[in-house]
Amino acid sequence: MIALALICLLAGSLLFVLVFNIKTENKPAKFALLIAANTCLIVAMFYARQGEPLNSMLMNGIILFISNILAIRHILKPASPNQELYDKWHADPKNWKAGILYYNPDDKRMFPPKKVKGMGWTINFANPNSILAFLGVMLIIFTLVRLLSLTV
């Protein structure tokens, strides 16, 4: 029974990884893989349960539930833009405020390349996460400078 549980666990895990890494936009195929992975993992949970307390089984169920939520979100998310669209956004002068500040609500990247490519990255000021990341880095730098000035 333990050998069957291990085989099901291995098969289910591999199928789950495949759901995230397969390069297809065929959503029904991804859902079929997800169902197969769940079937294998549930069979493995029940066969491996021999003598385990129920709370351990409950914890496995919660982990499986959260993993399924993440997998379904991954399957249903829209396709990301291709490099051609990124280049088009980058070249559009409407996306550059004052010629240096990148502001494009359609671009979900936190750090797109600077206006002169190859010179690093800039912040997408239309993305609230990039502004928070920028403020976080500034706060860390400010705190380090204050701490170092207190020690001298």
Average pLDDT along the chain: 83
User: Which of 18, 58, 59 lies closest to 35 in space, CA to CA?
Assistant: 18
Phi and psi, residue 130, nearest 5°: -70, -35
Examine the domain organization and report whether 70 and 97 are in the same domain.
Answer: no
Examine the domain organization and report whether 59 and 22 are in the same domain.
Answer: yes
* Domain end residue (candidates: 48, 76, 104): 76
Tokens at 29, concatenated: 């195929």
Q: Which of 2-6, 66-70, 102-106 has the lowest mean pLDDT?
A: 2-6
Structural domain count, the chain: 2
Most confident of 3-12, 19-28, 40-49, 128-137: 128-137
Question: Is the pTM of the predicted complex or chain greater than 0.75?
Answer: no
Instruction: Write down the pLDDT at residue 94.
Output: 93
Examine the domain organization and report whether 19 and 68 are in the same domain.
Answer: yes
Residues 20-54: pLDDT tens digits? 888 777 888 888 888 888 888 888 777 766 666 66
User: Which of 8, 9, 5 lies closest to 48 in space, CA to CA?
Assistant: 5
Helices (H), 77-127: 83-91
Examine the domain organization and report whether 111 and 54 are in the same domain.
Answer: no
pLDDT over 80 (residue 5): no
Examine the domain organization and report whether 19 and 62 are in the same domain.
Answer: yes
Phi and psi, residue 136, nearest 5°: -65, -45
Distance (Å, whole) CA 71 – CA 20: 7
Tell me, rounded to whole angstroms, the distance of Cα 41 from its chain centroid.
22
CA torsion 28→34→39→43, rounded to 10°?
170
Between the alpha carbon of residue 63 and those of residues 99, 117, 135, the distances in Å are 48, 43, 34
Examine the domain organization and report whether 23 and 70 are in the same domain.
Answer: yes
Examine the domain organization and report whether 111 and 130 are in the same domain.
Answer: yes
Domain housing 16: 2-76
Instruction: Write down the pLDDT at residue 50.
Output: 66
Distance (Å, whole) CA 17 – CA 83: 26
